[in-house]
Every structure is written in C-alpha cells, then in structure tokens.
C-alpha cells in the first residue's frame, strides 16, 4: 500500500495512451530544456524521525514537498534531466515535565537525476498524456531541534538530533491536467526512499542511535514550460 499511489498512476498511464494528435493540429517542436516547478505534500510511510530511540513521539509525520526541474527530450517519448527537491518531516516528543516542549524538524534537500517515459511526446497536441518516472540522487538531511523547559531539561531528556546523508530513489508517474500552448499543468505522485542513520543526544546519558526512515509518498501539482526561444 505504501507505493500504491505511484504504481496506480503508472498503470493508468499504460492503459490510457491515446493517438498522438488530431490531423488539424500542427506538431510542436520541443524545447531542448523544459523547466518546471511543483508543490505538494509528503506522507511518511517509514518508521519516522527517531524510531527505536526509547522516546515515543506524541505526533510525527511528513510535511511539504517542493521541486524545481530542468528536463530535456532525448527521444520523442523519453525525457531526462535534473531536479532539485525539498521535503520536510517532523516529530514531537511528550515533555519530561509539565511545562516543556520537545520538537524535531528534518528538512531534506535532494538533487536528483530523473527519467520519464511518456505515452506520447509531451506538449504534442492530442489531449492529456501520462508518464512513468524513475529517479536517483542523494538525500542531504538537516535536523532542527527545539527544546524548551522552564527550569532546565531534566536528566534523560532527548537533546540535539543529527541525521546522516544517504542515497535517494523515487518511482512514480503523473499526467497532464491542463495544457495551454507551451504550458502544461501536471499532477504527479511518487514513492521516495529516504532512510539514514541518526544520533540523538540525551542529557545525562549516552547518545541513542538508530535509522530515521522518512520514506513515503509525495503528491504534487506543478507546471512545466516549453519555451519557444529554446526549441530544437
């Protein structure tokens, strides 16, 4: 079920390919670079920010997903390129005293090499089209810690969190929702792999270690452009 959204879009794309274009619609030359941007949300399906640390989060989950991409057609139906993505995750631990707060936020910057296989060439007339996508890159994880205690943190309180950087993989697909001339509004869903060792400092005790698993499903909406000045 973790990857169902991405797999569903891939299957829909396989089944929904239609003829390339109507006879009365002229073909469009693709730009050698097609820039795009996207925004959406990320739902965690892994173990979270600090699993097996001995601290039970009172809340945890994913956050926002942002992306910027520069894609280039290498074949009529194959598009490859580079993307930079940002996703967030959070966890909050029940405080050790009545007045206190302990929250952790992890922001991940992810450069990715991506490849897309389309039912038919993007920006070609003939109605919306579907695509499958695969990507690989690197997760650069940065953790922010907020610990607030009115009288100081007692012994055994979780402290600063450090999350390592590790490889990233994603698999998914999408579709054009609306296309107007050289602008396409697109919906995309993909499963993302982001698991890395963490080290959690504890006041008055030795550090706790484990593997943060921020993997999950992202659903984003965005736009891609086919600039006329950059056409092949």
Q: How far apart are CA 38 and CA 225, in angstroms?
A: 12
Mean confidence (pLDDT) of the chain: 84
- Burial, 99: exposed, middle or buried (Cβ in 10 Å; 0-12, 13-18, 19+)? exposed
Integer Rg of the chain from CA: 21
In the chain, alpha helices (H): 4-15
Cα torsion angle, 108, 109, 113, 116, sign: positive
Section 145-158 average pLDDT? 75
Mean of the pLDDT values across residues 103-120? 94
pLDDT the model gives residue 157: 81
- Predicted local distance difference test score (pLDDT) of residue 155: 78
Integer angstrom CA distances of residue 38 from 5, 13, 34, 68, 101: 17, 20, 13, 7, 33
Region 148-157 average pLDDT: 72
Per the CB < 8 A criterion, the answer to whether 170 and 193 are in contact is yes
> Which residues, listed in sequence order, are joined to residue 81 by a DSSP beta bridge?
71, 114
Whole-prediction pTM: 0.82
Domain architecture of the chain: domains with CATH: 4-16+34-215 (2.40.160.20)
Q: Does residue 20 sit in helix, strand or coil?
A: coil
- What the block records as the tokens of 212 is 């943060």
Range name among 89-93, 133-137, 196-200, 210-214 with the lowest pLDDT average: 89-93
Mention every residue, 6+ apart, whose C-beta is less than 8 A from residue 156. Answer: 96, 202, 203, 204, 205
- What pLDDT is attached to residue 66? 96
Residues 131-141: tens digit of each pLDDT:
999 999 999 99
At residue 26, does pLDDT exceed 60?
A: no
pLDDT tens figures, 54-71: 887 888 889 999 999 999
């Amino acid at each position: 079920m973790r990857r169902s959204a991405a797999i569903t879009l891939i299957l829909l794309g396989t089944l929904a390919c239609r003829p390339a274009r109507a006879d009365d619609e002229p073909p469009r030359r693709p730009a050698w670079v097609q820039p795009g941007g996207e925004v959406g949300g990320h739902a965690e399906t892994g173990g979270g920010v600090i699993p097996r640390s001995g601290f039970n989060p009172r809340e945890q989950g994913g956050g926002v997903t942002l992306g910027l991409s520069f894609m280039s057609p290498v074949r009529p139906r194959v598009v490859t390129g580079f993307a930079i993505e940002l996703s967030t995750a959070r966890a909050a631990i029940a405080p050790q005293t009545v007045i206190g707060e302990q929250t952790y936020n992890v922001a991940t910057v992810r450069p990715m090499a991506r490849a897309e296989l389309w039912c038919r060439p993007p920006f070609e007339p003939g109605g919306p089209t579907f695509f499958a996508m695969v990507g690989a890159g690197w997760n650069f994880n940065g953790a922010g810690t907020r610990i607030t205690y009115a009288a100081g943190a007692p012994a055994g309180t979780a402290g600063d969190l450090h999350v390592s950087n590790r490889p990233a993989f994603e698999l998914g697909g999408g579709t054009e929702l609306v296309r107007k001339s050289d602008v396409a509004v697109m919906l995309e869903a993909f499963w993302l792999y982001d698991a890395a060792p963490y080290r959690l400092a504890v006041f008055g005790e030795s550090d706790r270690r484990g593997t943060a698993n921020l993997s999950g499903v992202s659903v984003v909406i965005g736009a891609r452009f086919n600039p006329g000045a950059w056409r092949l």
